[in-house]
């Protein structure tokens, strides 16, 4: 049994990798051989020369085909159009073979798990392009590629199977355009209008003129009414620290729309929305036994760093930042969870230890907002007619419904207790925009912990 | 959905769905196979397990035709949790694609032909049709066009000549009574084929 070799995707100008070919007779050759041998055998046994003539074309083809050149090794290159793609995005891989001589080449793509081919999976020629679409986030092997070389007479086939490179598939970000802004912002230049006066562009009020004020800020209508010079005041523009807390302990629901899928998509959307508003965004991924983190940062590349950190944490790695063992937030450095930061939590709230961690963080003074991504209920057996009568239900189904109801009440109790602590909990179905559940909190600043209400 | 990466241009190397040329080649292969069966059967004979040879030939041609027709049906790599009818269908496809149907058909057809009394030109036409059937089957299963056979035209022409020579040798009256004369003719024909096979690689290399 031979295992397929792994093909690393070379760059644009890099040569391909060398692979050995296994040549063997083609089906066509075996059929011709059968015809030739059967006809010769019958010609000998039956002593009928016309059967020797019947064997002639097949045997001649086989004899002439032996002189064909068959390369023992070929050079193979594969170049995906990208190594990172979002769910559902179109990606193509170009494959190229060299050193095949006059042999014809056929490519057959066997796509990997959660890789959906777009278009045909077989092609002919020395180079080919296959288009596909990754369906779910994670590090996905593109698949395997069968390469079949046929000599000019098509009597021998060289077979080669290679593993194509892997693709980092990012969760497709959900839609979010608005941001939740804290009422108390750090003294750092940004785009959010703060409650303090400053040099922003948002009108904040009118006050009496004092020496040193700029003349262009005088509000002449107000000055005329009051009889004294009045100047406009503006709100200061500040940025905030946002930490996305992703709960990776529970992954319930159907693959593709599970709680973890929704959490990652929501976190990616939130990262983009806050980074677009010039906020510093970091991420903390909470899972069994360890907490991975990436400190808040600025810029477009931070989106990719955040998604990389989340995916690395899901794979059990450290990612680009750090990992703190245990499940306590106390061990996190100050850089990972800055004081005064807005913490946006994406969780199905199924793990009791995670809920306790949220309570603990709230008691430590963090302003938090929980996005509930639970979109699955425990299964209930179908209603079965009871033996005694019509239209009844079996005791098992009743028990299931009762258990489900108790479970739902427990979930409601968890959410109620968080709300009582001052932690808003909003439910997101993963389909609609995140702006809808967050609308109540994006219209006005969220009261930061420790602020006067 | 907002994307960070630009659209992917589709290259010129994408092969489209099954075209009419491939369908025509498949139909030609199937018709040639059926024609060979009819040609080798008529007139019917009832000796030497002729029925078994006929069944073998029909099954071979029918199985090969079915394999060509169902060649484009995809097979999922993971077949563990599929329903039973789907698994039966996949098993059927696997068997269909592994059995050498054409080899069986060739053996059955040659067997049928030898059960008939000597008719050299009939056998020569059957030989030509069989070679055409095998070539068409190969073209159909490898999704290639007839142009791929262009390098083999010379060899096929020489083979056709030898086929005709064999038929002519079969039509010649024996030089004398007895089995020795027939054996002599047979040895001459085989020697001719062997000589051509030895010379032909050098001819083909000059192309």
SS3 string of B176-190? CCCHHHHHHHHHHHH
In this structure, what token pair is assigned to residue B89? 């269908």
Nearest CA to A192 out of A71, A114, A121, A280 is that of A280
Task: Note whether A277 and A190 are within 8 A (CB).
Answer: yes
Three-state secondary-structure class, residue B16: coil
Note the ipTM here: 0.82
At a CB cut-off of 8 Å and minimum separation 6, what does B56 contact? B104, B105, B107, B108, B111
Per-residue pLDDT of B122-148, as tens digits, reads: 999 999 999 999 999 999 988 888 888
The C-alpha atoms of residue A337 and residue B52 are separated, in whole angstroms, by 83
Helix (H, G, I), strand (E, B) or coil at A157: strand
Domain A241-442 fold is Rossmann fold (3.40.50)
A414 touches chain B (CB under 8 A): no
pLDDT at residue B1, rounded to an integer = 32
Closest-approach residue (CA) in chain B for A60: B197
Taking alpha carbons only, the member of A237, A171, A231 closest to residue A200 is A237
CB of B204 closer than 8 Å to CB of B158: no
Average pLDDT over residues A442-450: 74
Across A62-72, b (16+ Cβ under 10 Å) vs e yields bbbbeebebbe
Question: In chain A, which residues fall in CATH 3.40.50?
Answer: 241-442
What share of chain A in percent tops pLDDT 90? 36
Residues of chain A with CATH 2.60.40.10: 5-32+69-170
DSSP annotation of A438 reads: H
Residues 6+ apart with CB under 8 A from B180: none
DSSP assignment, residue A386? -
Nearest residue to A434 (alpha-carbon basis) of A240, A265, A302: A265
Query: How confident is the model at residue A97, as a pLDDT?
Result: 92
Confidence of residue B5 (pLDDT cuts 50, 70, 90): very low
Q: Is the pLDDT of residue B4 over 80?
A: no
pLDDT digits (tens, 9 = 90+) for A60-105: 888 887 777 788 889 999 999 998 899 999 999 999 999 888 888 9
Residue of A nearest to B99 (CA): A27
- Nearest by CB to residue A52, choosing from B7, B11, B189, is B189
Q: In what order do the strands lie in the sheet with A280-287?
A: A322-325, A290-297, A280-287, A241-247, A342-347, A367-372, A425-427
Residue A328 has pLDDT above 80, yes or no: no
B100 confidence band (pLDDT: 50, 70, 90): very high
Q: How far is CA A348 from the centre of its chain?
A: 18
CB pairs under 8 A between A and B: 211
Domain A5-32+69-170 architecture: Sandwich (2.60)
CA distances from A333 to A296, A303, A319, B54 (A): 12, 21, 16, 84
Residues of A in contact with B200 (CB under 8 A): 60, 63-64
Q: For chain B, how long is the longest CA-to-CA vector? A: 91
What confidence score (pLDDT) does residue A147 get?
92
- Beta-bridge partners for A20: A73
Q: How far is A381 from chain B (nearest CA, A)?
A: 21
A13 has a pLDDT exceeding 60: no
Q: Using the predicted structure, report yes or no on whether residue A3 has a pLDDT greater than 60.
A: no
Instruction: Give residue B7's pLDDT.
Output: 35
- pLDDT tier for residue A449 given thresholds of 50, 70 and 90: low
Per-residue confidence band for B179, with pLDDT thresholds at 50, 70 and 90: low
- Contacts of residue B11 in chain A, CB cutoff 8 Å? 92, 94, 129
Q: What is the pLDDT of residues A349-384, one digit of tens each?
A: 998 889 998 998 898 889 999 999 998 888 776 655
In this predicted structure, what is the pLDDT of residue A452? 45
Contact B130, B108 (CB under 8 A): no
* Residue A84, Cβ density class (10 Å: 0-12 exposed, 13-18 middle, ≥19 buried): middle
Helix H or strand E segment including A24: strand A22-25
pLDDT surpassing 70 at residue B176: no
* Residue ranges of A 172-211 with Cβ closer than 8 A to chain B: 172-173, 175
CB neighbourhood size of B196 (10 A): 21
Across chain A, mean pLDDT equals: 85
């Amino acid at each position: 049994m031979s295992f397929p070799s792994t093909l690393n995707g070379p760059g644009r100008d890099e040569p391909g990798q060398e692979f050995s070919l296994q040549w063997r007779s083609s089906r066509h050759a075996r059929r011709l051989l059968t015809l030739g041998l059967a006809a010769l055998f019958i010609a000998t046994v039956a002593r009928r020369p016309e059967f020797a003539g019947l064997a002639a074309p097949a045997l001649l083809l086989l004899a002439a085909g032996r002189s064909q050149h068959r390369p023992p090794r070929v050079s193979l290159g594969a170049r995906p159009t990208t190594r990172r793609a979002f769910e559902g995005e179109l990606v193509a891989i170009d494959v190229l073979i060299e050193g095949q001589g006059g042999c014809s080449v056929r490519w057959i793509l066997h796509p990997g798990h959660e890789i959906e081919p777009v278009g045909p999976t077989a092609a002919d020629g020395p180079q080919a392009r296959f288009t596909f679409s990754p369906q779910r986030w994670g590090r996905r092997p593109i698949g395997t590629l069968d390469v079949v070389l046929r000599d000019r007479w098509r009597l021998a086939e060289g077979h080669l199977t290679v593993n194509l490179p892997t693709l980092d598939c990012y969760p497709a970000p959900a839609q979010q355009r608005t941001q939740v802004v804290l009422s108390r912002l750090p003294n750092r230049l940004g785009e959010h209008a703060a409650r303090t006066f400053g040099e922003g562009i948002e009108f904040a009020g009118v006050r009496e003129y004092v020496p040193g004020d700029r003349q262009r800020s005088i509000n002449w209508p107000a000055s005329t009414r009051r009889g004294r010079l009045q100047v406009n005041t503006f709100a200061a523009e500040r940025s905030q620290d946002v930490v996305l807390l992703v709960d990776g302990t529970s992954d319930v629901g159907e693959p593709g729309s599970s709680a973890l899928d929704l959490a990652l998509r929501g976190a990616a959307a939130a990262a983009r929305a806050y980074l677009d508003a010039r906020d510093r965004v970091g991420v903390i991924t909470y899972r069994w036994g360890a907490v991975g983190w990436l400190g808040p940062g600025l810029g477009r590349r931070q989106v990719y760093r955040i998604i990389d950190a989340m995916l690395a944490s899901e794979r059990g790695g450290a990612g680009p930042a750090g990992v703190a063992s245990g499940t306590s937030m106390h061990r996190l450095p100050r850089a990972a969870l800055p004081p005064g930061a807005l913490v946006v939590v994406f969780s199905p709230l199924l793990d009791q230890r995670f809920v306790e961690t949220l309570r603990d963080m709230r008691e430590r003074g963090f302003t938090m907002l929980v996005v509930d991504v639970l979109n699955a209920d425990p299964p209930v057996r179908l209603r079965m007619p009871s033996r005694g009568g019509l239209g009844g239900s079996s005791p098992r189904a009743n028990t299931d419904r009762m258990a489900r109801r108790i479970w739902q009440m427990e979930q409601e109790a968890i959410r109620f207790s968080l709300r009582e602590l001052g932690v808003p909990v909003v439910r997101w179905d993963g389909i609609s925009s995140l702006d809808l559940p967050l609308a109540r909190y994006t219209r006005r600043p969220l009261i930061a912990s420790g602020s006067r209400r | 959905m907002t994307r960070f990466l630009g659209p992917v241009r589709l290259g010129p190397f994408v092969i489209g769905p099954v075209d009419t040329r491939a369908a025509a080649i498949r139909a030609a292969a199937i018709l040639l196979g059926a024609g060979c069966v009819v040609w080798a059967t008529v007139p019917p004979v009832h000796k030497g397990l002729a029925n078994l040879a006929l069944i073998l030939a029909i099954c071979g041609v029918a199985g090969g035709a079915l394999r060509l027709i169902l060649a484009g049906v995809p097979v999922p790599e993971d077949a563990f949790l599929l329903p039973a009818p789907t698994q039966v269908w996949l098993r059927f496809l696997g068997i269909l694609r592994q059995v050498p149907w054409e080899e069986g058909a060739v053996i059955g057809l040659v067997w049928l032909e030898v059960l008939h009394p000597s008719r050299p030109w009939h056998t020569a036409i059957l030989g030509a049709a069989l070679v055409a059937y095998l070539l068409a089957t190969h073209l159909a299963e490898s999704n290639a066009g007839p142009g791929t056979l262009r390098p083999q035209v010379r060899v096929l022409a020489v083979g056709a000549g030898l086929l005709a020579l064999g038929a002519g040798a079969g039509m010649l009256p024996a030089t004398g009574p007895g089995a020795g004369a027939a054996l002599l003719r047979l040895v001459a024909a085989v020697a001719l084929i062997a000589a051509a096979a030895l010379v032909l690689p050098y001819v083909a290399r000059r192309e």
